[in-house]
Amino acid sequence: MRFFGRRDELNILEGIYNQCCESYGKITVITGRRRIGKTVLSQKYAENKDNIYLFINKKEEKLLCDEFIILYEELTKKKFIGKIEYFYELFELLMEYGENHPFVLIIDEFQEFININKSTYSEIQRIWDKYKFKTKAHVIFIGSIYSLMKEIFQNEKEPLYGRADRVLYLKPFKISTLKEVLIENNSYNEKNLFTNYLITGGVPRYLEILNEAKKYNEKEIIDFIFQKDSFFLEEGRNLLVQEFGKEYGKYFTILELISVGRTSRSEIESVIGKSVGGFLDRLENEYDVIERIRPIGSKKDSRNQKYVIKDNFIEFWFRFVNKNMSMIYADRFDYIKRIIERDLPTFSGPKLEKLFTEIIGYNPEYGLIGRYWEKGNLNEIDIVALNDLDKKIYFAEVKLNKDKININKLKGKTVNLLQKYKGYKVQYEALSIEDIDRKLKEIYI
């Protein structure tokens, strides 16, 4: 699959490189979940520049140095005389080279030095402080374990705290980019766009796998995922076990409960039978897997709140893969597909709401965008968008079947909320899959 999207990120990186050439070295951190395209982005940016790419594999530091010194020689066009045993020695050689040669240094899976040699971080800090204003290197540190990269660069007790000039948190493709991918493969329609968004969430690697297999519609994708030895069946575990560590089972239980609709702390605790406040806090703030949402217009300390899984694929995996793992190991795929056929419409509804919320979020007309509900989940409104500058408020009801939307009923749900926004111009809208193109065109054309 060719390179799609990421124009904003490429422009940011190009701007940083120009600063390096004109003044002195810069550090950029690129992080984000696995399969999101961090490596591809960095290599695309560096492809027409002098660059060196170093992947930190799980092996002895000396063996890493033996591998990397060859790449150093290719970059500098000089034979290295001597021997290095520590990564920081190579890093210093590269900073020296950068004194007279602007170049890009990409260090991938940088968090692995925690397991290889943690003192590397303090040595890099020492060397960077020595060379920053002399070198013209653009150093890019990439890491896919979010919690560890956050610890390395944002914990004030760590040596590299404050050294990053820019942190890029790479997100999934925008819906417009997802549409572009499908159009290029002659497989675009609004239903296919929604299905790919629902299951992949716009994660580039998943789109690439489905594209290579020429799977684009709902049946093709479900059949492809739910077959023996499918890449996707172990993907959720592969993504999160290393992140969560030895307590991953407790986190998995909470995420599975959220995926089936138990979105409040009290609902989760009623099943687990004990307090989960600490786990929810870490899932939100340390691992960045869930987020806490409150109704539009509520106070920050309101207890009327819900938890949602941020990543579409992770939520799909917990709802339909992890929940049915015993049947998967027994190769009962036909039975699982019947479960999916039954439950997917219910699961899909909130994701269609999320899709339209993202599209509306691209519109600079609105500031705050979210949902609304009252205590006991009364008067739920799928999308609320506020424009406080021009005194406008927008309400939308979203359903898979547009015929089931009643605008008068939607208006009735807004009565209490509108008491807080008297004098605002109000707009109501009914949205379904067939409105995706229209809403995209409102933003981009």
- Tens digit of each residue's pLDDT, the chain (445 residues): 788 889 999 999 999 999 999 999 999 999 999 999 999 999 999 999 999 999 999 899 999 999 999 999 999 999 998 889 999 999 999 999 999 999 999 999 999 999 999 999 999 999 999 999 999 999 999 998 888 999 999 999 999 999 999 999 999 999 999 999 999 999 999 999 999 999 999 999 999 999 999 999 999 999 999 999 999 999 999 999 988 988 899 999 999 999 999 999 999 999 999 999 999 999 999 999 999 999 998 887 788 899 999 999 999 999 999 999 999 999 999 999 999 999 999 999 999 999 999 999 998 999 999 999 998 889 999 999 999 999 999 999 999 999 999 999 999 999 999 999 999 999 999 999 999 999 999 886 5
Distance from C-alpha of 355 to C-alpha of 179, rounded to nearest angstrom: 12
Sign of torsion over alpha carbons 91, 97, 100, 103: negative
16 Ramachandran zone, left/alpha/beta (phi>0; psi -120 to 50): alpha
Residue 302 is predicted with a pLDDT of 81
pTM: 0.92
> What is the per-residue pLDDT for 300?
79
Phi, psi (deg, nearest 5) at residue 181: -60, -45
- Contacts of residues 240-248 at CB distance under 8 Å and 24 or more positions apart, as own/partner, are 240/289, 240/314, 242/145, 243/145, 243/146, 243/147, 243/287, 244/287
What are the start and end residues of each CATH 1.10.10.10 domain in the chain? 233-330
Burial of 272 (0-12, 13-18, 19+ CB in 10 A): middle
**CATH (one of 2.102.10.10, 3.40.50.300, 3.40.220.10, 3.40.50.970) for 7-169:** 3.40.50.300
Assign a CATH topology to domain 360-444.
Trna Endonuclease; Chain: A, domain 1 (3.40.1350)
Query: 3-class DSSP state for residue 161?
Result: coil
Cα–Cα distance for residue pair 385/396, rounded to 1 Å: 9
**What one-character DSSP code corresponds to residue 320?**
I
CATH topology of domain 233-330: Arc Repressor Mutant, subunit A (1.10.10)
Residue type, 205: R
Backbone phi, psi, residue 273, to 5°: 90, 10
